[in-house]
C-alpha cells in the first residue's frame, strides 16, 4: 500500500506500482471500440499514463502534454488509462485533438488492483491514482512514478528520458 494525497488529505492505494526491472502485469482494458485490449496488443516501448479521470484539469493537461510528446516521437506509444467510459474518452480526444495517444478504460478487468493504483479511501475511492510507467519492448518496467499529490502533474521529462 502506498500513501498519496488529494489536496493535502491522505489516501491510500491498494498496493505498489511494479518495480523497475520487473515484468509489467498483463491487463485487460477497453478501447474506444469497446474491445478488450491486453498488454501484448501494444508492441515496442510504451508509456502508461494512469489518471483518475480525463474530466479533471490535471488529467486533461497531462494527456495533452503526452499527446505532444507522442506526436514528436516515432515508435513511442502512449497509453492513457482512466476509469472514464470509452465514450467519454472519445469525446475528450475529439474536443482536445489528442489523437496521438491511445485512451483505455478500466471498465473491465483488474488493472487498477494489479498495478497497485486503486485508491481505497477518500473522495476518489475506486478511481486510479496518478502514475506513469515506462515499459520496454519486452514489457519490463524502465521507469515508475506514483505522483504523491493527485492534483500534481507527473515528471514528463523523466518518463520521456526513460523511454529513450
Residues labelled as active-site residues:
59
Reading the block at residue 134, the C-alpha cell is 515506462
Place of cell 524502465: 142
Helix (H, G, I), strand (E, B) or coil at 4: strand
* Burial environment of residue 116 by CB neighbours within 10 A (0 to 12, 13 to 18, 19 or more): buried
Alpha carbon 56 to its chain centroid, in Å, reads: 14
Q: How far apart are CA 6 and CA 58, in angstroms?
A: 12
Amino acid at each position: 500500500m502506498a500513501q498519496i494525497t488529494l489536496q493535502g488529505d491522505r489516501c491510500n492505494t491498494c498496493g505498489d506500482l511494479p518495480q523497475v526491472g520487473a515484468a509489467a502485469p498483463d491487463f485487460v482494458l477497453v478501447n474506444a471500440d469497446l474491445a478488450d485490449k491486453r498488454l501484448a496488443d501494444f508492441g515496442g516501448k510504451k508509456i502508461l499514463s494512469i489518471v483518475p479521470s480525463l474530466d479533471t484539469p490535471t488529467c486533461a493537461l497531462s494527456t495533452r502534454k503526452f499527446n505532444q510528446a507522442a506526436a514528436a516521437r516515432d515508435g513511442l506509444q502512449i497509453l492513457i488509462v482512466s476509469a472514464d467510459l470509452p465514450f467519454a474518452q472519445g469525446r475528450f480526444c475529439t474536443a482536445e485533438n489528442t489523437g496521438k495517444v491511445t485512451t483505455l478504460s478500466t471498465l473491465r478487468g483488474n488493472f487498477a488492483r494489479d498495478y497497485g493504483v486503486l485508491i481505497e479511501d477518500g473522495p476518489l475511492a475506486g478511481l486510479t491514482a496518478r502514475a506513469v510507467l515506462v515499459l520496454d519492448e519486452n514489457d519490463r518496467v524502465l521507469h515508475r512514478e506514483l505522483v504523491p499529490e493527485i492534483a500534481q502533474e507527473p515528471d514528463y521529462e523523466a518518463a520521456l528520458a526513460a523511454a529513450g
